[in-house]
Amino acid sequence: MGTAVIMVMGLLGAFAASLLEVPMGELFGASLVVIACLKLTGKKIRLPGFVIFLVQIILGVSIGITVQLNQLVAAFSPLLLAGLILCMLSQTFISFLWLNKMEGWRPFESLLGAIPGALGAILVLNEEQEKPSSKVIVSHAMRLLMLVVLAGYVASQGGEGIVQSAEFQIRWGVHLIAIGAMSFLIGKLTGYLGLPAPFMVTGLFVSLAYNNWLLGGAIASVPKELILFAASMLGVLIGVRLAETTVREALRYSRAGFIITFMGIVITFGYAILFSYMTATEWEVLLLAWLPGSVEAMTAVAILIGLEPAFVAINHVMRLSLLYMLPSVCKAPLQQLSKR
């Protein structure tokens, strides 16, 4: 069973899971199918490079295209921005210490495992290493699973009212192709300069600048089929790495993921209470806005319980944007840690 067949099986698993309308079901569906296929056949594969950079571009553009600069200016005060950054740094630092000191992970693995959210960015960075770590993937998969289950539970209690994301319009197609082409060319150039995850970073900035400055923020989304493909390939990546682990290793890494996710929730709760007092913003809103979950899941929860979904969504877009810029900002430290 070759790489192409495994990728197709992952896509089929993702499509089947998408029919269940479970948050991030495409990713988990692809993962489960790939794990089953690889365990049954005993094969080991690695995704082709072009798939990795295509996923990078889709992820970067899907975040950058949703950033409306006027909304960011309206939603963010300097104090709340400081709170978001401090919360992220605290989550990362405490989780890093736990993974490195208590779990015995290498520094680079600990850093990737500790970063709160941005699963796509972490998987891309992990795959760029000579020996990708299964620990990082399992811990982030556990974090995502916990937060998706939490969001799903709250959603099940909330009844109707989820606002659907904007539909992609055909007239945006030419602009999206132009954004993708520029992201690829600039990403290729920055890749030669040694920038980690170059296509994702350039996709983020190119789409943000193109949409806001040339189109006035006209494009509201990317085609859902592209998101399905990216989620499927991330699921295949997860499945490929999980298939290489034993049940005992998977349980041990999952336990680490559970612990750091729980600590992250507690830290977020503390910051939400503190900055609620300092800014007169409801702590429940800040909690949803700063949790290391997906934009879709956390925003859906905010909609269902009536807690400023626009503010929550913008905070998560800003959080993901900051995390996606991490490779370029921390290039030297990441290179040093990867050698240890």
Number of structural domains found in the chain? 1
The one-letter code for the residue type at 37 is: C
Q: What is the per-residue pLDDT across 219-275, written as a single tens digit (0 to 9) for each?
A: 877 888 888 888 888 888 888 888 888 888 889 999 999 999 999 999 999 999 999
Give the distance from CA 59 to its chain's centroid.
8
Number of neighbouring beta carbons within 10 Å of residue 303: 19
**Structural domain boundaries, residue 287:** 3-42+49-161+175-244+253-338
With respect to residue 168, please indicate whether it lies within any of the assigned structural domains.
no
Q: What is the per-residue pLDDT across 158-182, written as a single tens digit (0 to 9) for each?
A: 444 444 456 777 888 899 999 999 9
With respect to residue 167, please indicate whether it lies within any of the assigned structural domains.
no
Helices (H), 243-339: 247-279, 283-290, 295-305, 309-324, 326-329, 331-338
pLDDT of res. 86: 94
**Vertex 237: Cα angle to 84 and 145 (nearest 5):** 50
Q: Which residues of the chain have pLDDT under 70?
A: 1, 22-24, 71-76, 118-121, 124-132, 151-166, 194-196, 293-310, 313, 324-340
pLDDT of res. 70: 73
Distance, in Å, from the CA atom of 24 to the CA atom of 152, rounded to the nearest integer, reads 11
Give, in order, the Cα–Cα distances in Å from 38 to each of 12, 43, 46, 241, 269. 15, 5, 12, 10, 40
With respect to residue 110, please indicate whether it lies within any of the assigned structural domains.
yes
Distance, in Å, from the CA atom of 339 to the CA atom of 73, rounded to the nearest integer, reads 40
98: DSSP letter: I
With respect to residue 275, please indicate whether it lies within any of the assigned structural domains.
yes
With respect to residue 323, please indicate whether it lies within any of the assigned structural domains.
yes
Distance, in Å, from the CA atom of 167 to the CA atom of 53, rounded to the nearest integer, reads 25
pLDDT of res. 140: 84
With respect to residue 155, please indicate whether it lies within any of the assigned structural domains.
yes
pLDDT of res. 153: 62
Give the distance from CA 60 to its chain's centroid.
10
Distance, in Å, from the CA atom of 208 to the CA atom of 13, rounded to the nearest integer, reads 32
With respect to residue 170, please indicate whether it lies within any of the assigned structural domains.
no
Q: Which helix (H) or strand (E) holds 182?
A: helix 173-192
Distance, in Å, from the CA atom of 287 to the CA atom of 155, rounded to the nearest integer, reads 16
With respect to residue 330, please indicate whether it lies within any of the assigned structural domains.
yes
| Residue 206 near residue 186, CB atoms below 8 Å | yes
